[in-house]
Structure 1
Amino acid sequence: MKKRLNRLVSKSILEKAQKNPSPSFDLEINISTFRQIIADSNDVGFRRFMVAQTVPAALFYIKGLTKVETIEREVLTPLLRCPKETLERTPSSEWVNLLSQDVVTVTELSVHETYEQAIPSLLTGHSLIMLEGVDKLITLSTKKIEHRSIEEPESEVTIRGPRDGFIESLETNIALLRTRIINPDLTVQVGNIGQHLKNRYAIVYIKGLCKSELVDEVCYRIACINEDVQETGAVEQLLQDEPMTIFPQLSHTERPDKAVSEMLKGKVVILLNGSPFALMAPVKLSELLNSPEDDYQNWVFSSLIRLLRYLALFISILLPSIYIALTSFHPGLIPTQLALSIAAAREGVPFPAFLEAIFMEIAIELLREAGVRLPRLIGSTVGIVGGLIIGEAAVRAGIVSPIMVIVVALTAIASFVLPAYSVSITFRILRFLMMFAAASLGLYGIILVYIAINIHLVGLRSFGEYYMTPFAPLKLKSWFEVIVRAPFTSLKPQGGQKNEQKMP
């Protein structure tokens, strides 16, 4: 695994570092070599000083990433005030151990034998020290961490549950998981990703609950990524099993409680520095329709809401296409009174039902995207007011029928019920596909496309797990837990053992 992670080091730095793979005993040679590797960047701070007023030394750091007060207080001051006699009676080969153990007060200190090992630490905010007569490089943790405060997630609205969310700091996000899982089995593996950005990522899982094969597979796929990525959305596209599908093969969240819930199920959480979203693998389609709030409410309420989500799923995909198929190809299947009402509402409309639906759906999608891109205070207002104005104007102008406005509005509302935004986009695309099928072959077209979608889903996998579990392969015992949230008293504890604790 270490060999795989080492391949993620920047190629440009590696090519320069390999020409001078190891530091020299001569301080001036080391300074010159380092400046060639770092390309004399103006944001690299440099300071010469004398350790114990005897040994020449050099300090390098990145301005803006390094806390200067920490360097002055915990690095330079102890080194300058180091007793001269202590340094003189210690062999030069032991100077590094002496300074790291008895002089410098920084918590994290590492000793490197090559530039390839030391430079990545420097570029993440560590300070680098070179000594005359020492062929090793010392890096000290003097990072300056600046990030926004922990706030409530905006993409996942919480009615009941924790209000804190992930932010752009990798260390803070790991800490949010640590505070919830006070268990030594919680394992965090940190590495770098990309050729030039060398962005840091973390793989988090609970040892014993997560399969080792899954962890190895996640590590291997991340190690194979050579592209520079800044957001977990790009990582998600590079890690998925089937890149040509529109269905999400990893789930993402801004909520630490949801990430913890998934880890308790044996999943792996992937965090990326600079992104407030965590990826979770593997994922099943049924899990994308669940919300962590289901566990915080009474099981009856949660079960009814889950059933409502499944109903909303089919409404958002099938309602416009079924309306098109019935009015255009199968009017005999509509009850007489309802058929007369539809005919009266469509009187004077010059377009077929398919063009009506396409026009209204495109208008709804435009309003939805406009509401997202506009400032938050007016985005929701524009969506609501714009929908009312366009719908009313279209009906008055005779472009669409009133019943089509009802169908499209009900479809849009049903799509908002789905908790996962990524799968909501997928069903919006499938809705248009169903509409084209209904306009071509009627109900037969809808059935054919529905069968094709299910065939595709049955063969889809996420990190080796079947995407349609427990529906395909069929696991009847798991149906109850997927569609209906069972009471906690009927569920088995982790590991299948009951809690034997008794009241005193």
Structure 2
Amino acid sequence: MFKRRKILPSKANEDACQKLTVKKKKLFIVNAEDLRDIFKEAEDVFFNTASYCPESPVKVTFVGCQGMVDLDLLNHLVVDRLHLFFETYNGDRITKENIAQSLHLPQLEEVESEETMYADIYCGKLLIFFHEAQYLFSTNISHRPQRTPEDTATEITIKGPRDNFIEDISVNTALIRKRLRTNSLCVKKFQVGRRSLTEVALLYIHDTANPKMVEKLTERINAIDVDGIYSGNQFMELIEKSSPFFPRHHYSGRPDFSVQGLLNGRIIILIDGVSYAMILPINAFFLLKTAEDSENISAFNSFERFMRVIGVFIATLLPGFWVAVTTYHQDHLPLILLATVVESRRGIPLPTALEALIMLLLFELFKEAGLRMPSAAGGTLSVLGALIIGDAAIRAGLTSPAMLVIIAGSSIATFTLVNHSLVGAISLVRIAAIFLSSVLGLFGFLFMLHFLIIAVSNVRVLGVPLFGITANLNIKYVLKSIIRIPNKLDTSRINPIISKDMTRKKE
């Protein structure tokens, strides 16, 4: 999957920071028929040939991709400029210098390789072929299909900005640029995928981001050797170590949240065709933060973060703990609660563990159905379906009211989280906890909890532990992870491992 390539050294704080990783193959075009043969299988590529200078005719062929070239600019800008160019033509041989200096078109460049030609035409550029001189140039008059920045469906916007990321990497980069008008923001560009030639951008602030992390990410991106990139998660799996359960990156569809990450020394990855940004490195507490946190007062925001931490514990551990106690350790329950549980389970033929698994799978099915249904009906269907099926299951004697409350509370607790990868990991751990608790009781529950802590503690993201905040044993960083300090008192960044410059503002 990975193929190591030699990485050219780059300047330390280079602002452009752009490098394309495409092997060049020399292009030989003799006439327009050669171009037609190259694109004969691509019927969405059009060819238009025009003649200039009646005294000594000069032919020019335009090649573009339908739906990706701005036809208004082609008919009015390009054609008019060529008319002006050939009005001064005296019959001499056309040179590359004359074209570059006199034909004033946007981003006019000579095409010298097949890979460049494919990348140009399929990203919306117009190819201009001069027959007699046998020159091939490209100009950027692209008009690729895209939507305007609007509310993201993955993050609810209440008070924050609504110009969220779309599927165009240039627009997404501009959304970050307009918020960080500084020369220290680096944009490092790559082309990934032998066939897709997907554009990938690495964004970081060079005087706050850790240079070793930037170098490591650059090496991993250059080492990718696949046919194409079609999703953000696929790309992150290619540059990260395999992690079947725990997420190793955070994502956001909001530019303001991405800018917060950049200012804290983190690195942003943008992919053309992906409507969200990948943020790394991360730690466990960063996965619990949302873009709306900075829009609320610090006291209420701290309470929200604390509730999210409680929600993680409830969603992960509550069903397994309840199964262990009610199956093997009934003596640990108060007598009144024990009597209520025994009475509610009267007539239920299923064991507690199987009852919990069935109800948990039912809630997961309702949640999945709510996500796949249209947004207007999805939420209503999930709530009403869960209420109706839950009530029917109790009346049919398939589950007890206590078990329904436990599973419903555990499922609702997952909605306090934003990262869907984290929610998926919690769902898998929850099933494992129920299974071990049903076999070994509290011993199995504590064994699972101990194993979970060890597994999460060993997860590294670009060398940063997923529990990196607590691993430092610095109470200041631990408190800043959970409690949001008022901006007047917040003078330093949160993690010295991630950020090179810890000073946020002057004292």
Task: Give the structure-2-normalised TM-score.
Answer: 0.89
Which residue is 2:84 aligned to?
Answer: 81
Q: Relative to 1, partners in 2 of residues 1:296 and 1:117: Cα closer, same or farther, differing over 3 Å?
A: same
Q: Distance in 2 between matches of 1:391 and 1:497?
A: 51
SS of match in other structure, 2:292: helix
For the 8 Å contact 2:45–2:65, the answer to whether it is kept is yes
Which residue is 2:100 aligned to?
Answer: 100
For the 8 Å contact 1:114–1:137, the answer to whether it is kept is no
The amino acid that maps onto 2:79 is: L
Q: What does residue range 74-153 of structure 1 map to in structure 2 within 5 Å?
A: 74-88=77-91, 92=94, 95-104=95-104, 106-132=105-131, 134=133, 136-153=135-152
Deviation at 1:202, TM superposition (A): 1.9
The amino acid that maps onto 1:23 is: F
C-alpha RMSD over aligned residues: 2.3
Q: Distance in 2 between matches of 1:268 and 1:30?
A: 46
Q: What does residue range 266-415 of structure 1 map to in structure 2 within 5 Å?
A: 266-415=265-414
Q: Distance in 2 between matches of 1:112 and 1:45?
A: 18
Q: What does residue range 463-482 of structure 1 map to in structure 2 within 5 Å?
A: 463-482=462-481
SS of match in other structure, 1:229: coil
SS of match in other structure, 1:300: helix
Q: Relative to 1, partners in 2 of residues 1:8 and 1:231: Cα closer, same or farther, differing over 3 Å?
A: farther
For the 8 Å contact 1:191–1:201, the answer to whether it is kept is yes
> Where in structure 2 are there 5+ consecutive unaligned residues?
1-6, 10-17, 494-500
Matching residue within 60, 67, 80 for 1:57: 60
For the 8 Å contact 1:201–1:273, the answer to whether it is kept is yes
SS of match in other structure, 1:81: helix
Q: Distance in 2 between matches of 1:398 and 1:447?
A: 31
The amino acid that maps onto 2:354 is: L
For the 8 Å contact 1:52–1:81, the answer to whether it is kept is no
Which residue is 1:234 aligned to?
Answer: 234
Q: Distance in 2 between matches of 1:51 and 1:202?
A: 41
Q: Distance in 1 between matches of 2:246 and 2:239?
A: 14
Q: Relative to 1, partners in 2 of residues 1:135 and 1:115: Cα closer, same or farther, differing over 3 Å?
A: farther
For the 8 Å contact 1:5–1:223, the answer to whether it is kept is no
For the 8 Å contact 2:106–2:141, the answer to whether it is kept is no
For the 8 Å contact 1:437–1:446, the answer to whether it is kept is yes
For the 8 Å contact 2:19–2:189, the answer to whether it is kept is no
Q: What does residue range 175-254 of structure 1 map to in structure 2 within 5 Å?
A: 175-225=174-224, 226-241=226-241, 243-254=242-253
The amino acid that maps onto 1:308 is: M
Tell which deviates more after alignment, 224-233 or 284-293.
224-233
Deviation at 1:412, TM superposition (A): 1.2
Which residue is 2:38 aligned to?
Answer: 37
For the 8 Å contact 2:22–2:115, the answer to whether it is kept is no
Residues 233-255 of structure 1, C-alpha deviation per residue, up to 9 Å, x if partnerless? Answer: 221222222x1431111111111
Q: Relative to 1, partners in 2 of residues 1:377 and 1:113: Cα closer, same or farther, differing over 3 Å?
A: closer
The amino acid that maps onto 1:62 is: C
Deviation at 1:355, TM superposition (A): 1.2
For the 8 Å contact 2:490–2:504, the answer to whether it is kept is no
Deviation at 1:88, TM superposition (A): 4.7
The amino acid that maps onto 1:45 is: F
Deviation at 1:58, TM superposition (A): 2.6
Q: Distance in 1 between matches of 2:31 and 2:205?
A: 43
Q: Distance in 2 between matches of 1:134 and 1:362?
A: 69
Which residue is 2:497 aligned to?
Answer: none
The amino acid that maps onto 1:328 is: T
Deviation at 1:430, TM superposition (A): 0.6
SS of match in other structure, 2:285: helix
Q: Distance in 2 between matches of 1:490 and 1:87?
A: 72
Deviation at 1:406, TM superposition (A): 1.0
Q: Distance in 2 between matches of 1:39 and 1:6?
A: 27
The amino acid that maps onto 1:237 is: E
For the 8 Å contact 2:19–2:190, the answer to whether it is kept is yes
Residues 244-299 of structure 1, C-alpha deviation per residue, up to 9 Å, x if partnerless? Answer: 43111111111111111111111221112222121112121110011232222111
Deviation at 1:473, TM superposition (A): 4.5
Q: Relative to 1, partners in 2 of residues 1:452 and 1:144: Cα closer, same or farther, differing over 3 Å?
A: same
Deviation at 1:51, TM superposition (A): 5.0
Q: Relative to 1, partners in 2 of residues 1:148 and 1:128: Cα closer, same or farther, differing over 3 Å?
A: same
Q: Distance in 2 between matches of 1:497 and 1:70?
A: 46
Deviation at 1:203, TM superposition (A): 1.8
Tell which deviates more after alignment, 114-123 or 144-153.
114-123
Q: Distance in 1 between matches of 2:87 and 2:161?
A: 56
Q: Relative to 1, partners in 2 of residues 1:395 and 1:83: Cα closer, same or farther, differing over 3 Å?
A: closer
For the 8 Å contact 1:23–1:135, the answer to whether it is kept is no
Task: Give the structure-1-normalised TM-score.
Answer: 0.89
For the 8 Å contact 2:68–2:145, the answer to whether it is kept is no
Q: How many residues are aligned here?
A: 482
SS of match in other structure, 2:469: coil
Q: Relative to 1, partners in 2 of residues 1:497 and 1:67: Cα closer, same or farther, differing over 3 Å?
A: closer
Q: Distance in 1 between matches of 2:197 and 2:356?
A: 47
Tell which deviates more after alignment, 265-274 or 424-433.
265-274
Residues 124-161 of structure 1, C-alpha deviation per residue, up to 9 Å, x if partnerless? Answer: 11111222454643110110133222211111112332
The amino acid that maps onto 2:36 is: R
Q: Relative to 1, partners in 2 of residues 1:131 and 1:401: Cα closer, same or farther, differing over 3 Å?
A: same
The amino acid that maps onto 1:48 is: T
Q: Distance in 1 between matches of 2:155 and 2:455?
A: 29
Deviation at 1:302, TM superposition (A): 0.9
Q: Relative to 1, partners in 2 of residues 1:44 and 1:405: Cα closer, same or farther, differing over 3 Å?
A: same
Q: Distance in 2 between matches of 1:459 and 1:111?
A: 51
The amino acid that maps onto 2:103 is: V
SS of match in other structure, 1:489: coil
The amino acid that maps onto 2:82 is: L
> Where in structure 1 are there 5+ consecutive unaligned residues?
none
Runs of 4+ that moved beyond 6 A: 2-5
Deviation at 1:318, TM superposition (A): 0.9
Deviation at 1:453, TM superposition (A): 1.2
Q: Relative to 1, partners in 2 of residues 1:139 and 1:482: Cα closer, same or farther, differing over 3 Å?
A: same
Percent of aligned pairs with the same residue? 27
The amino acid that maps onto 1:66 is: V
Question: Which of the two has greater helix per residue?
Answer: 1
Residues 390-435 of structure 1, C-alpha deviation per residue, up to 9 Å, x if partnerless? Answer: 1111111111111111111111111111232221111111110100
Residues 138-197 of structure 1, C-alpha deviation per residue, up to 9 Å, x if partnerless? Answer: 110110133222211111112332222111122221111111111122222333222222
Deviation at 1:85, TM superposition (A): 4.6
